[in-house]
Amino acid sequence: MTDLRSNEIDDELDGDTLHEECGVFGILGHPDAAALTALGLHALQHRGQEAAGMVTFDGRQFYSERRMGLVGDHYTDPATLAKLPGSMSIGHVRYSTTGETVLRNVQPLFAELQEGGIAIAHNGNFTNGLTLRRQIIADGAICQSTSDTEVVLHLIARSKNASSSDRFADAIAQVEGGYSMLALTRTKLIAARDPNGIRPLVMGELDGKPIFCSETCALDIIGAKFVRDVENGEIVICEIQPDGSISIDVRKPQNPRPERLCLFEYVYFARPDSVVGGRNVYVARKSMGQNLAKESPVEADVVVPVPDGGTPAAIGYAQESGIPFELGIIRNHYVGRTFIEPTQQIRAFGVKLKHSANRAMIEGKRVVLVDDSIVRGTTSVKIVQMIRDAGAREVHVRVASPMIFHPDFYGIDTPDRDKLLANQHVDLASMCRFIGADSLEFLSIDGLYRAVGGAPRDSQAPQFTDHYFTGDYPTRLLDQEGASNVRKLSVLASNG
């Protein structure tokens, strides 16, 4: 049973941070499939730290290992990898936004269907997942998890099509939202991306074998070649043939939509060394900082990033403004779940468990504090105070993204609307007073668009998914529209 008291201090540390739901990795036809998948998941660990899972197939049967915790906690053990034989594999790292954090929700999920076994892993969220779940349960289905991924398995099982590929295509045609998805059958590795391309998915190749993963950094770690992005609405079916060769069948949507990648991939989620949608993430984040310096200059002595997310933007701000860049905050990378009882005295340490002020770079100086985003603002309050306690004369906060006004329903764990900082204050001056800064400015939506795509936002046809800033959701929100009619999911106690 979870000790709620021992988690209070973790909420202090993590409650003001956006979390992405997960990352996926899959490979077909390689003798080291499990080991390569483990390495790929390790590279994607930033996308989810609660749990990791893998499913492999060796030509006779499927094997599954799903564990709570980090990839390195389990999948570096040769004994664990030995339980995952076979030349085809898919894997998943998870941060839960749909379904509670228990072992039964850890992906990939597996089911034995009429045409054989199938495993599925997906990154993102279905905006009609609860609606579909209610329908299939009413029709007699039995759900084993509270993950929306299980809905896809039921839809595949109910499809009247003959082949697993057609059943899969039939199933995902019924779901809405933002997702990238992998499926593994006895002969196939299938990849799919949502019609708007909200969540990223790339295709690679190693030793002539196809790979799919959430980001290019997972290809880099194993020395694989980047082939291309999976297009929005596209299904790619890779199949091992009787002679051992691999065929690739590509199915494109009949009525394609313009791609609208999630802007937060560039602001926060993707690793800086990844290339997302043809754009280097680090370069985009530096450009955000440069545009922020142009839009919101201030007289100061030093530019300090809030690590690690604010670092590229702070470098860009410093380069554009000519103000020296310094590491005025040092991050402790080894803070896990707290092991101490959070008494009031311990809780008062707050953000210092993760961040420490570098007094030598701050004392007596006017500081520009650059962060990638502000969600609730509670962490910003503590960091600004920490900088003041280290002797700063002035603290000017600059945020390399616009204000967040709206919650997300596509796989980002955001607070309720009324808990977002931008909705708790009447104006920027009130927000500034709340966090205790001398000044506070956010990057404009056009400044963000220019940094990522090179052009201002087209209000008639936005180039990216940006609803958290603008309220412009790219899909219907069926579960939200019918929230009062959707029964709350049951919670089964689990020791997983």
Q: Is 283 exposed, middle or buried (0-12, 13-18, 19+ CB in 10 A)?
A: middle
Tokens 């021992």, residue located: 6
Rounded distance, CA 356 to CA 390, Å? 10
| Residues whose CB falls within 8 Å of the CB of residue 41, separated by 6 or more in sequence, listed in order | 23, 25, 52, 54, 71, 75, 91, 92, 93, 218
Q: If we measure between CA atoms, which residue out of 421, 445, 443, 447 comes closest to residue 433?
A: 421
Which tokens sit at 171?
């199933």
Query: Is the CA virtual torsion 402, 407, 410, 412 positive or negative?
Result: positive
Cβ–Cβ under 8 Å, residues 84 and 54: yes
Reduce the DSSP state of residue 442 to 3 states and report it.
strand
Question: Is there a catalytic annotation at residue 213?
Answer: no
Strand partners of residue 203: 212, 228
Cβ–Cβ under 8 Å, residues 176 and 476: yes
Overall size of the chain counted in residues = 496
**C-alpha to C-alpha distance for 491 and 6, rounded to whole angstroms:** 21
For 188, the token pair is: 């196939």
- Token pair listed for 44: 């994607």
Residue 423: Cβ within 10 Å count: 14
Can you tell me which residue has the tokens 């560039």? 266
320: which residues sit within 8 A by CB, 6+ positions away? 289, 290, 293, 294
CB under 8 Å to 314, separation ≥6 — which residues?
A: 289, 303, 304, 305, 325, 368, 370
Q: Tell me the residue type at 488.
A: K
Q: Which of 22, 217, 238, 262 is catalytic?
A: 22
Token pair listed for 193: 């991306």
Element spanning 245, H or E: none
- List, by residue number, the catalytic residues: 22
